[in-house]
Amino acid sequence: MNDRLISPNATATPAIEFAQVEKRFGQLKVLRGISGHINPGEVVAVIGSSGCGKSTLLRCFNHLETINSGRLVVNGIDLSAGSVLSAADLRLLHAQVGMVFQQFNLFPHMTVLDNLTLAPRKVLGLSDKEARQTARILLEKVGLGEKAEVYPEMLSGGQKQRVAIARALCMKPKIMLFDEPTSALDPELVGEVLLTMQQLAEEGMTMVIVTHEMQFAREVADRVLFLNQGQVEEEGPARQVLDSPQSDRLRAFLSRMSFARV
């Protein structure tokens, strides 16, 4: 597998642990007793057909959705069914768990720099000077240092998504969640976003990535979870799962996917 600055530690307390998690929307059961874990420093790709529960699971990890039953603990914060989350714990969760969505969700009336500094100032209580200093460092990190003072409408889709990644990193998260971050991009812009994510993986960031980019998952992820009808159908080391799938459903799914390099 890929070399890391911080190797996943299977003996450490999981960064995310979930057991028999169920999530319903009305009568529709989206997650059906799903269980698993994400270790600190690990990159896990979550794959599966549309409607299998991938994005819902990710949204449960940062409490954008609450689970109906089961146990869920994220970075020591109990999000299990029936648990009462205090306002302080919710702020801590959203500070420690960054999320990048399919759409960029940048504020169009604010410059790139202002987009990045808003949450650190309001949530973390950073001074404007400190927030701006951190934001500029992270914009350089994602290759957009020269775009600090421009507005989102002046950026390409790939640039907007890299800004969204930098914005999440401004909160100094311990876990990053990516919900199909390249699905809204033109094909020629996908590579620049994946390279930014690969850099984060190499630096040891704990990451959960919902993706249809199979080659990226194969090369960057430590493990793959294949979801089918709200359950984990197959999971294991990324190359093992993607090169030698055991279940018929996973083989059928992969036969429809492209493994082209981006």
State pLDDT tens for residues 51-93. Answer: 999 999 999 999 999 999 999 999 999 999 988 889 889 989 9
Cα-flanking dihedrals φ and ψ of residue 190, to 5°?
Answer: -65, -45
Q: How far apart, in Å, are the Cα atoms of 142 and each of 159, 161, 189, 198?
A: 9, 10, 14, 11
Q: What is the pLDDT of residue 189?
A: 84
DSSP label at residue 14: P
CATH, domain range 16-107+177-255:
3.40.50.300
Q: What is the pLDDT of residue 85?
A: 87
Q: What is the pLDDT of residue 258?
A: 60
Say which residues have a Cβ less than 8 Å from residue 206's Cβ, sequence separation at least 6.
Answer: 15, 38, 39, 40, 41, 42, 43, 174, 175, 176
Q: What is the pLDDT of residue 257?
A: 80
**pLDDT, tens only, 214-248:** 999 999 999 999 999 999 999 999 999 999 999 99
Segments of the chain scoring below 50 in pLDDT: 1-7, 260-262
DSSP label at residue 42: -
In this prediction the pTM is 0.90
- Taking residue 46's Cβ as centre, other Cβ atoms within 10 Å add up to 29
- The SS3 assignment for 100 reads strand
Instruction: Please state the domain extents for the chain.
Output: 16-107+177-255
Distance CA(113)–CA(136), nearest Å, equals 7
Q: How far apart, in Å, are the Cα atoms of 167 and each of 107, 132, 147, 193?
A: 11, 11, 13, 14
